[in-house]
């Protein structure tokens, strides 16, 4: 169980914030700033990890809706490729159990942005989720390993979870300061 997080991305409408919890720093600005300037988040797309965790659900929805641009069969694997909103995703799926073993996410420039390797899956609350995966961010060379030991659907979220106001005792900065160096905002 995660008891604390090092950082959080919060996106609501056109606004965005990044909270660096250990340093009690709050960076806020417009959503487009977060998405157009990958150096702000060290190349980590804030939508990447949720997509990586929900990969089996994306695969099943794609199969159900015949949503893939291309697919092929080779050896023990199927390969699926599809593009939506300017982002191309490729999946390598093991034939014997239809589990995604590897995924590639390509940027608008056609270059590989991230490669995700799925090492293990488990069933949580009747759904199949990866329990061990490795993410390589191609632009920065950063690697992350994600292990999930427990997953629970929460009945609802406290609206404060998605608040774009910083917690008390946090210093506030403009979002651009993540790449330019912090200079506190005036509240």
Q: pLDDT 10s per residue in the chain (187 long)?
A: 333 456 777 878 888 888 887 788 888 888 888 777 766 665 666 667 777 888 888 888 888 887 788 889 989 999 999 887 677 889 999 999 999 999 998 877 788 888 999 999 998 888 888 999 999 888 778 888 888 887 766 566 666 666 788 888 999 998 888 766 555 554 4
Q: Residue 3's pLDDT is what? A: 39
DSSP tag of 150: -
Helix, strand, coil share of the chain (percent; to 5): 20, 45, 40
Q: Residue 119's pLDDT is what? A: 96
Q: Residue 2's pLDDT is what? A: 39
CA distance 187 to 176: 16
Q: Give the residue from 153, 183, 177 showing the smallest Cα distance to 18.
A: 177
| H or E element, residue 133 | strand 127-137
Q: Residue 178's pLDDT is what? A: 78
Q: Residue 115's pLDDT is what? A: 93
Q: Residue 184's pLDDT is what? A: 56
Q: Give the residue from 47, 22, 49, 37 showing the smallest Cα distance to 177.
A: 37
3-state DSSP assignment of residue 76: coil
Q: Residue 40's pLDDT is what? A: 64
User: Is residue 83 within 8 Å of 68, Cβ to Cβ?
Assistant: no
| H or E element, residue 137 | strand 127-137
CA distance 81 to 67: 9
Q: Residue 36's pLDDT is what? A: 73
Q: Residue 158's pLDDT is what? A: 64
Q: Residue 42's pLDDT is what? A: 59
3-state DSSP assignment of residue 61: helix
Pick the CATH number of 7-180 from 2.50.20, 3.40.50, 1.10.620, 3.40.720: 2.50.20
The CB density around residue 112, as the number of other CB atoms within 10 Å, is 15
Q: Give the residue from 113, 117, 75 showing the smallest Cα distance to 96.
A: 75
Domain ranges of the chain: 7-180
């Amino acid at each position: 169980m995660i008891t604390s997080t090092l950082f959080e991305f919060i996106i609501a409408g056109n606004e965005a914030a990044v909270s660096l919890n250990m340093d009690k720093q709050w960076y806020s600005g417009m959503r487009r700033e977060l998405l157009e300037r990958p150096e702000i988040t060290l190349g980590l797309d804030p939508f990447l990890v949720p997509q990586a965790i929900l990969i089996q659900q994306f695969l099943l929805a794609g199969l159900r809706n015949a949503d893939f641009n291309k697919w092929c069969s080779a050896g023990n694997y199927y390969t699926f490729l599809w593009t939506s909103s300017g982002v191309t995703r490729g999946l390598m799926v093991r034939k014997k159990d239809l589990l995604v073993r590897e995924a590639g996410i390509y940027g608008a420039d056609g270059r590989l942005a991230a490669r995700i390797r799925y090492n293990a899956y488990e069933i949580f609350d009747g759904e199949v989720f990866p329990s061990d995966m490795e993410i390589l961010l191609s632009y920065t060379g950063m690697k992350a390993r994600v292990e999930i030991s427990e997953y629970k659907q929460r009945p609802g979220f406290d609206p404060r979870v998605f608040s774009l106001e910083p917690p008390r005792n946090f210093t506030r900065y403009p979002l651009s300061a993540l790449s330019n160096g912090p200079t506190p905002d005036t509240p």
